Amino acid sequence: MKAKDKEKIAMEVQNILHMNTGDGDSSYACNSFLQETAMWKTLPVLRHTIKFMANNDIIFNTQCFKVADLGCSSSINSLLVASTIIDMVHDLCEETKHKSPQFEVCLNDLFGNDFNTIFKMLPEFYSNLKKKKKKREHFGHCFVSATPGSFYRRLFPNKSLHLIHSMYALHWLSQVPEGIENNKSNIYMSKSSPPNVLEAYQKKFDTDFRKFLQMRSEELVQGGCMVLTFVGRSIADPTIDDCCIIWKLLAQSLHDILKEGLIQESDIKSFNMPYYNPCEDEVRNIIQNEGSFSLDMLNVFQVNWDPHDTDYISTKDFDVPSHIHGENAAKALRAVMEPLLTSHFGNSIIDILFDKFKKHVSLQLAKKKIRYYNIVVSLSRK
């Protein structure tokens, strides 16, 4: 494939990959509790990272602490992250009797992201900060801006950032891996995928994540840090259920509507996910081999497909809960996937597709409760 053709494919993904916009029933803004649940589970790593930066005088020696949230999407979560970071830094400054710095928060996502939804939330965000400032001495001002673009390219000036945060974004690839036309009726890696498909996905993640680390190493100050959270997988096998079965169920739903004549078989065969669930060893090895960062901390945790489900003990759902959990899980995935699916299959099949998907998920949860496996790392620039 020519370089121009590769660039065109990459740009197509950049232009269509975004979460559901607005604030309607299917919007990401109203269906991002899964990501919020994961965010709260990463707080120990974020707290560790900020203390590490304070101990190395990176926070106390700057007048403006600059944070970037990469892949911020379009819900309140990004502002929750910003508020949490500001609180943590200010608490450390109070403990050590240092003046709190000012804060600059740069929100990044692809060009199709609904930044306007976030901007509409800013007045309340600033109002809450103002209330805190009245209660607490020397509370630093905060300035929020947006920086659209792919994080697989440069986004910020050299050595301009102190802390980078990214939640549920880096498992999205810059484009669908090349040479996987023989992935049959799958839309992602599966047990029936040929070996070259698995290799292509692994190679593409390796290339993309290396590039991400290289770009960020130029933008962070020396000693600057990153906290990155991926949806990963628990073992080396790339076809394990905890990363692949959700996409298998979506593929089954597409085949259901194929049987009803609503789409063509060629439509399914030509659709593959620009997505990859890494395992811990892959993440560790790429960080080590790329060489710009030290891996200071790595944690793992699980989140139920239905983020409103707080049962992490049961291995399967009963009939009624599985129906409720299936519906909630389908809403969460629809908010993420609808624009990508619409760009390929059209919008006329979306309601039917996710109705069938909801049923497949409910049946799966009634048999075996599978959870998203998450990897969170703290890195510091050498």
> How far apart (Å, rounded) are the C-alpha atoms in residues 119 and 74?
9
Please say if the pLDDT value at position 47 is more than 50: yes
Question: Model confidence over 200-254: pLDDT tens digits?
Answer: 999 999 999 999 999 999 999 999 999 999 999 999 999 998 889 999 999 999 9
| Closest alpha carbon to 201 in 251, 278, 151, 276 | 276
What pTM, to 2 d.p., does this model score? 0.92
What is the per-residue pLDDT for 3? Answer: 42
CATH architecture of 3-381: 3-Layer(aba) Sandwich (3.40)
Per-residue confidence (pLDDT) for residue 340, from 0 to 100? 86
Task: Summarize the confidence of residues 300-310 as an average pLDDT.
Answer: 92
Angle subtended by helix axes 241-259 and 350-367, to nearest 10 = 130
Q: Compute CA distances 157 → 130, 213, 338, whole Å.
A: 29, 15, 34
How far, rounded to the nearest angstrom, does the alpha carbon of residue 186 sit from its chain's CA centroid? 22
Neighbour tally for 355: CB within 10 Å: 14
- Whether the per-residue pLDDT at 6 is higher than 70: the answer is no
pLDDT at 275: 93
Q: What is the pLDDT of residue 135?
A: 62
Q: Where are the domains of the chain?
A: 3-381
Give 174 or 140, the one with higher predicted confidence: 174
Nearest Cα neighbor of 213 from 170, 248, 176, 245 is 170
Q: Are 333 and 247 in contact (CB under 8 A)?
A: no
Please compute the mean of the pLDDT values over residues 47-56 and round it to a whole number.
93
189-198, 313-322, 331-340: which is most confident: 189-198
* Across 2-6, 30-34, 151-155, least confident range: 2-6
The larger pLDDT score, comparing residue 294 to residue 98, is at 294
Whether the predicted pLDDT of 9 surpasses 70: no
pLDDT at 2: 44
Q: What is the pLDDT of residue 296?
A: 96
pLDDT of residue 129: 86
User: What's the mean pLDDT when you consider all of the chain?
Assistant: 89
**Per-residue model confidence as pLDDT tens digits over 177-187:** 999 999 988 99
